[in-house]
A and B are shown apart, each in its own frame.
Chain A
Amino acid sequence: MTLELVMMLAIALGSIGFAKLLRIESIWFAFSAGLVGVLTLRSLTFLAMYPLGLGSVSKWVFVAGCLLFFGLGIFFQRDNLLRYSLLPIAIALFSIFTTRIVGLSYTGQTDSRWILVVVRQLQQNGDLGIFNDLNALKRGFIYPLTLALGESQEFLTSFTPYAFAALCSTGVAIAQILLRGYSRSTILLSTVGIVVTLFTTSMWLRATVYINSHVAAGLLLAVVAMVSLRAIEKKRLETNDYLLLLCTLFLLGQVRAEGIVVGLIALLPLASQQFISRKQLITFLITPATSFAVWLVVYNNLGFHATKLPAVLFILLLAAIAVVPAIKWFDWLRYRSVTIVAGGSLLALLAITALYPPSMLKGWNALFENLVLSMGRWGFVFVLIAVLLLISISKSYSAGHKLLMKILILLVPIFMLSKTLDDVGGARGLGRTGWGDSLNRMWIHIMVLLAVTAAVAVANKLQPEIVRGKSNEKD
């Protein structure tokens, strides 16, 4: 357990330092943004050292990097250090307590077990090329890589609850921005019910310790939403948010096989803004593409081998392809990309349903059973969210609230489409009934965003004058 404690404290201290360097004001967002910085450090140190045969040494370089982050953070931004440190350190210790002392964990699913196999191989600096198939690619990279920081032949058990807390923390930070100006009673009324409901569902509770990359993916998407929100409120993307966004996109390229696509789609509401420069747009595209390419080259050479290209050329090629949408000719499409992608993916879903009616209708039925009849172990939280959104329909929404809705409208059909492509043999279905269905588990990625969207909608209905006031301020 000593190594577990050392690593979790290193992660917490590194998070504090990174957030301090980025001058993030919200302690809630500092927690999650800091974790993004630390995970980027973990990936970069491993990817740089693994090809030299130093993969297992890389964890100590990572620890040194975390301490360096912390040192630099307090050197440049010493104020309120205790306030910023409390949350990450307390959560790190509490996470160790829940997994190592109480013994809570969930590894009872195939994905969890495959991830543990990858962790074992990473720990022994073994040949990662043996996972040269879709099986390993689907389980992602950054999550097992972080679990591999744990004790030898074990895994970093407390990282999952820590990441879960960071995900929830991002939700709090988003809600703080969107609920600014509302009365305390409105905030309580709009949030308490939905939060308690969420924590009475088996799936959400399981997510706290479930060994899978869903929570990490959810965290990254929530950070994309938060950065987009901050940028849209200020009508510019500030340098610190820009750097954080690049780190997040880098990790999205490695978190899951579909991470690069999902990440870029979640970014569309921001990327389609006029104030986003071409240089920023190019880096948004290059970062996850390069990250994904490096992952394929270093770890899982599934696509890389097929091309028979030298590694550097392969990475450059993927990066070059990724830049194409940033060409000026495509600006017309970029400014309308949210409508085009949301509409296109909905049409694609309908088309696939028409092309594969038996399996798709079975899939739609499974989706209904999982989300409405609670067969997916989500309780009735989706029903509650849907009802709250319906009764809170309003004539005016704040820009930030609209942004969250756009992200969700984009992501929901994309998750469903990715599921239809998941089955070997082409587009065949939308999953099966039961909690273990991958689409059912993917709702973890957007649950925080969904809950915040519903809560803000309720607040808006309770105090509509706040949104009207905000609109007038802008006018």
Chain B
Amino acid sequence: MKPARSIAYLVGFLSALTIAANLTVAFKMTPFSQIEKSYQVEDILVGSKWIASAPIVLASNFNDVSVKNVGIRTENGFGFSDQILSVWGNGKVDTANDPIDLRNSAALNELLLNTKYETDTYCREYLRDCTLALVWDATAKPAGAEFIGVRVSDSGYALVEAGLLKKFGGVNR
């Protein structure tokens, strides 16, 4: 057999083998894991529960958002992007104070019944393993949009609308 012909057979064999392996052993990831229902950027980001989507939800539901007690995300706080809040609306994020610790509050479970959105968030050393709930009372649409950061579990945080937080007895601001 001529060397060129043997190379041709070898190339054909190797290609066929690789294609077979790609389609069987290796093809574990669906390339298009998403069939988009909407091309609205907001729907995509909020719908996918992106780690930085909480500001979008707040800005979409309230005009002027003020977020307090976020803390520093690499210390005792959690991630909440003021950049994204500015893109979707007006608002301020105050990271000066840590979240209020409500882990031992008796009213916590009842308070969290008002959760409207929940997503993962950054916390501690840039870990993504914390959760962030957005909590407000939809029946009594609050006039202002002041949200207070609270700690609800070891790895869970919530941003609670200030009026609702105040309404709950036993919750000490």
Contacts and interface: CB of A to CB of B under 8 A. Distances in A.
Interface in B105-125: none
Contact of B11 (A106, A135, A193, A205): A193
A65 B21 CA distance: 48
Given A196-B15, A197-B15, A103 B37 contact: yes
B105 to A, nearest CB: 33
B29 A202 contact: yes
A471 interface: no
A94 interface: no
A458 B32 CA distance: 32
Contact of B33 (A102, A106, A135, A387): A106
Interface stretch (A44-52, A110-118, A323-331, A343-351): A110-118
A153 B52 contact: no
B35 interface: yes
A103 B31 CA distance: 13
B26 interface: yes
A161 to B, nearest CB: 11
B86 A130 contact: yes
Majority secondary structure, B binding face: helix
A197 B18 contact: yes
A232 interface: no
A193 B32 contact: no
Interface stretch (A28-36, A80-88, A170-178, A378-386): A378-386
Given A103-B37, A116-B44, A463-B4, A377 B19 contact: no
A117 B45 contact: yes
A260 interface: no
Interface stretch (A119-127, A216-224, A306-314, A413-421): A119-127
A61 interface: no
A301 B139 CA distance: 44
A372 B34 CA distance: 27
B22 A108 contact: no
A159 to B, nearest CB: 12
B83 A130 contact: yes
Contacts of B25: 374
A197 B22 contact: yes
A435 B27 CA distance: 12
Q: Please indicate which of the listed interface residues B16, B27, B51 has the most CB atoms of chain A within 10 Å of its own CB.
A: B27
Contact of B22 (A116, A121, A208, A379): A379
Interface string B64-99: 000000000000000000011011100000000000
Interface string B34-49: 1111011110110010
B127 interface: no
A206 B28 CA distance: 13
Interface string A433-454: 0010000000000000000000
A154 interface: yes
A350 to B, nearest CB: 29
B22 A381 contact: yes
Contacts of B138: none
Contacts of B50: 110, 113
Contacts of B18: 193, 197, 379-381, 383-384
A171 B60 CA distance: 44
A274 interface: no
A20 B73 CA distance: 54
Interface string A380-421: 110110011001100000000000000000000000000000
A193 B23 contact: no
A104 to B, nearest CB: 5
Interface string B1-27: 000100110111011101101110111
B30 interface: yes
B63 to A, nearest CB: 16
Nearest to A104: B32
A64 interface: no
Given A458-B11, A461-B4, A377 B29 contact: yes
B7 A458 contact: yes
B145 to A, nearest CB: 20
A104 B33 CA distance: 9
8 contacts: A100-B39, A107-B34, A153-B41, A189-B8, A190-B11, A200-B27, A203-B29, A388-B11
Interface of B: 4, 7-8, 10-12, 14-16, 18-19, 21-23, 25-37, 39-42, 44-45, 48, 50-52, 83-84, 86-88
* Shortest Cβ-Cβ A-B pairs, 6 listed: A193-B15, A379-B22, A205-B31, A200-B22, A374-B26, A206-B31
Given A126-B87, A377-B29, 14 more contacts: A106-B31, A113-B50, A117-B83, A120-B41, A120-B88, A130-B83, A155-B39, A193-B14, A193-B16, A201-B26, A202-B30, A377-B28, A380-B26, A461-B7
